Structure 1
Amino acid sequence: MTGAVPEVSLREYGPVVSVPLSTEAGLALASSGVLQSAAPDPGRSGHWLLRAGSRVGAVRTPGGPVLRIMPKTPVSRLFFLLGFSLDPARAWRDSREGTIDTCAYDDVVPALAHAVERQIDGALRQGVLQGYREVDETALVVRGRLREAEQIRRHFGRTPPVEITYDAYTADTAENRILRAATERLLRLPGVPGTVRRRLAHQRVRLADAQPLIRGQELPRWQPSRLNSRYQPALRLAEAVLRGTSPEHRPTGPDPLTVDGFLLDMNKLFEDFVTVALREAVRERGLTARLQDPHHLDIAGLARIRPDLVVRTGDGRTPLAVVDAKYKVEKADGLHNADLYQALAYATVLGLREAHLVYAAGRRSEHFHEVRGTAAGPEGLGVRLYRHSLDLSREPGQLLAALRAIGGRLATGSRLP
């Protein structure tokens, strides 16, 4: 009887851990980008020194243990950030804990599997959504429209058979394909509890009429509408699952080795949460905001910059404030001077009086640096670089209130003369 697969627990940005690994598994991890570092342990033969970075979740190494990377942020709070990033309108209405139901699991993969299964169950409660899909096929009778070019190319004008295209009313829709793919992906992940696995298998049966997705291809596109409104929360979460288990976690090379699992990048998650929340906050004040707004630092257009968020006037033409989100601890001792230089570059290019940095933690909720040599205007004020700190341990409502307050600060931004 085959023994259970060994497991190794790491902590997000935690200490280095010496783990017994084959050379194959170690090389796969080192080239995958899953961890901050992976290198042979010089003091112990057959061991590798592993240190987790910003990615949390679980991965299965080839011929090695399952690595579980635990987040510093409580899992329930992590899924609030994810839920808000995916569906801010819903989270603005209900900022209580549990926007995504994680059933109090304290590990990312079990919580994710439970949440996805519950969302899919809710989506299918009124039945499997059906829709019209264009079908091309070879048939003995004419149905729909004749594909003349295909008929001539394949059959030299002879009939039957005939090459036809028609609209079929079917459950094989983009929405159902995505839900089925996410269900099957979760069933292959390590660490999904047995009860949740059985419920996921039941949902897969309900979605059996949807065709499986071909691995490596882009996800099918769907458009939000009144007809699929009950599916939308499940679809957004299912797409997050499929992105988090995508081939980006695979090592490259002539003979790549699979590192299989689900990972959330906390850097990206924090950035998405902050920028989406601030975008919604300034919209309430009649302003617009662009995420990942591209610009050039130099006149020749060789040095590109891409601020996380640029707040603009209601018509979208004039920049008023710029924001960059940093998933790290804001410090008062100058160790993050590079962040200030980056913020100053953004303000200079956009012609703004102020730029804002939002950190995941810090000593003070807000303070600023006034830049030397930039005083201008009747008030004699120069460019100000604001540093804001969020406390991710706070309740969701408090987090959103803090971001609304920052949004109010952004709305008062102005341009240099």
Structure 2
Amino acid sequence: MKSYSVREWEKLTYGDRDGQIPEQFANRLATLALRSEFAGRGRSGVLEHGRHALRARGVVGILAAKDCSLEILPKIDIAPGESNNHQNAAIRKHLIYMLAVALDLKIELGSVTDLAWQRENLLEILIRIFCEKLTEAVRKGMPRRYVEEEDDLSALRGRLNVARQFTRHAVNPSRLSCRSDVLSEDTALNRIMRAAVTHLSRISRSSANQQRLRELAFVYADIAENMVSALRWDEVVIDRTNRRWQELLGMARLFLLNRYQTTTTGAGLGTALLFEMNALFEEYIGRLISQCLAGTDLTVSLQGGRLFCLTAETTERRLFQTKPDILIRRAGIVTHVIDTKWKRISSRIDDPKQGVSQGDVYQMMAYAQLYRAPRLTLLYPHHPALGSADIIHARHRITGRETILEIASFDVANGNHVLDRIRRLIQVDEPVVQPTT
């Protein structure tokens, strides 16, 4: 299978030379992209299918069609001077770290070699991490639980099912209707793991991953196989006895369900695992802020608020509901509204408005009116043109109010002291840890 990579908002031209894609492959991938739920969302679409090139948009991930695959990576600035393969490897690391934070997963990136980061695409790396974590977990024992079984036996086992005994075997007392609890591995959690292994076996193109998945399929051979739509996610309970399975459950949900991504198969088109960067950046920042506020008197809610801008004069019907990305409260009162935007702003020297759109400012003005927070922040991804550090670049006072609107950036390519940088950005102190007695 031929594999291609392109970065967000960049083009992949048609042709047979290095760095180009044959037009027939481009047509297959564009057709698959049109089946995604992200297609047709204006600037948030998946691909622009032009006359001379494919152009990636605001969605990243993998499109895998017959005989070819396309990896779309986010536009994250990596240190100049590195080869394209090294830069792509670094971007994959940052993207998977963002996914791990956003989905509350503990993914050990150190288990993947530098060579694998360069040679394998995003999907294969995620499959490899999942296989390694699942293999380690099953070596320690698959989770089991008691399930109730009913059977007609010649000797009593467990409890007698009185109602069934006197209706089914009233004339045949040699058979006893028994009801017993049996410790079984055929649980909802294990069925989800088997479904994930089966699904990944169909879409992986890596021989090493296929070998790992075959070994896991053998382990799960005695577990009932369910369609993805029939899996009972609601029956899975994570407690102290199976805590190590929490991250695996999250990764299985990543592969099998539609949260930030969409998975499309069937009709011979192929498979897509896609993530909308706006939503991913928002959740990533929100999770980091939640971690920073733990132990303080501040609380955070994501996509909360939901106040309406207008109320119809005659019907009292409320219109235009707002959903700020991040609300920070103290004692129930909103103190800070943060809205994340996965798009680039310019330096203050180049543009007094810093490339911030009027629409973004109008949105924050509405939040200022509805939530009456003294502080508002528009948060964008950092890039080198903004300087060496992610900071608050400008503060503005909203006309006629005491409210401050800040323009800030956060560097997702800098993995050092992430929580400290977020803490400085939102200007909160370290939580006070009480000594234990």
TM-score higher than 0.5 here?
yes
1:406 is aligned, of 425, 428, 431, to: 425
Written as runs of structure 1 = structure 2, the 5 A alignment for 1:293-332 is: 293=304, 294-299=306-311, 300-314=317-331, 317-331=332-346, 332=348
Q: Does 2:66 correspond to 1:68? A: no
CA distance in 2, matches of 1:21, 1:159: 70
What is the aligned partner in structure 1 of residue 371 from structure 2?
350
**TM-score, with normalisation over the residues of structure 1?**
0.77
How far off is 1:391 after superposition? 1.2
Written as runs of structure 1 = structure 2, the 5 A alignment for 1:130-169 is: 130-134=144-148, 139=152, 146=161, 167-169=181-183
Question: For residues 30 and 313 of structure 1, do their structure 2 counterparts lie closer, same or farther at Cα, with a shift above 3 Å needed?
Answer: same
Question: For residues 328 and 159 of structure 1, do their structure 2 counterparts lie closer, same or farther at Cα, with a shift above 3 Å needed?
Answer: farther
How far off is 1:278 after superposition? 0.6
Q: Please provide the CA RMSD for this pair.
A: 3.7
How far off is 1:41 after superposition? 4.8
Contact kept in structure 1, 2:101 and 2:284, CA below 8 Å: yes
1:55 is aligned, of 37, 54, 59, to: 59
The one-letter code of the counterpart of 2:63 is V
Written as runs of structure 1 = structure 2, the 5 A alignment for 1:16-415 is: 17-18=13-14, 19-21=22-24, 26-33=30-37, 36=45, 38=47, 41-42=50-51, 49-61=53-65, 63=66, 65-73=68-76, 74-87=91-104, 98=108, 101-104=111-114, 105-106=117-118, 107-134=121-148, 139=152, 146=161, 167-191=181-205, 193-217=206-230, 220-221=233-234, 222-243=236-257, 248-250=262-264, 258-293=269-304, 294-299=306-311, 300-314=317-331, 317-331=332-346, 332=348, 333=351, 334=353, 335-337=355-357, 338-362=359-383, 363=386, 365-366=391-392, 367-374=394-401, 382-395=402-415, 397-409=416-428
Contact kept in structure 2, 1:282 and 1:288, CA below 8 Å: yes
Percent identity reads: 22
How far off is 1:270 after superposition? 1.6
Contact kept in structure 1, 2:379 and 2:410, CA below 8 Å: yes
How far off is 1:336 after superposition? 2.6
Q: Does 2:11 correspond to 1:15? A: yes
CA distance in 2, matches of 1:84, 1:145: 50
What is the aligned partner in structure 2 of residue 46 from structure 1?
none
Q: Render the CA deviation track for 1:333-381: whole Å, top value 9, x for unaligned.
A: 333322222122122211111212221125261022211122xxxxxxx
Question: For residues 25 and 165 of structure 1, do their structure 2 counterparts lie closer, same or farther at Cα, with a shift above 3 Å needed?
Answer: farther
Q: Render the CA deviation track for 1:304-336: whole Å, top value 9, x for unaligned.
A: 11111211225xx32221112222223343333
Contact kept in structure 2, 1:134 and 1:167, CA below 8 Å: yes
The one-letter code of the counterpart of 1:302 is L
Question: For residues 180 and 245 of structure 1, do their structure 2 counterparts lie closer, same or farther at Cα, with a shift above 3 Å needed?
Answer: farther
Question: For residues 286 and 102 of structure 1, do their structure 2 counterparts lie closer, same or farther at Cα, with a shift above 3 Å needed?
Answer: farther
**TM-score, with normalisation over the residues of structure 2?**
0.74
Question: For residues 167 and 409 of structure 1, do their structure 2 counterparts lie closer, same or farther at Cα, with a shift above 3 Å needed?
Answer: same
CA distance in 1, matches of 2:177, 2:122: 49
How far off is 1:113 after superposition? 1.3
Question: For residues 164 and 398 of structure 1, do their structure 2 counterparts lie closer, same or farther at Cα, with a shift above 3 Å needed?
Answer: same
Structure 1 unmatched ranges of 5 or more: 44-48, 92-97, 375-381, 412-417
How far off is 1:170 after superposition? 0.9
CA distance in 1, matches of 2:187, 2:343: 41
Contact kept in structure 2, 1:80 and 1:100, CA below 8 Å: no
Question: For residues 209 and 256 of structure 1, do their structure 2 counterparts lie closer, same or farther at Cα, with a shift above 3 Å needed?
Answer: closer
Contact kept in structure 1, 2:423 and 2:429, CA below 8 Å: no
How far off is 1:64 after superposition? 6.3
Structure 2 unmatched ranges of 5 or more: 15-21, 40-44, 77-90, 312-316, 431-437
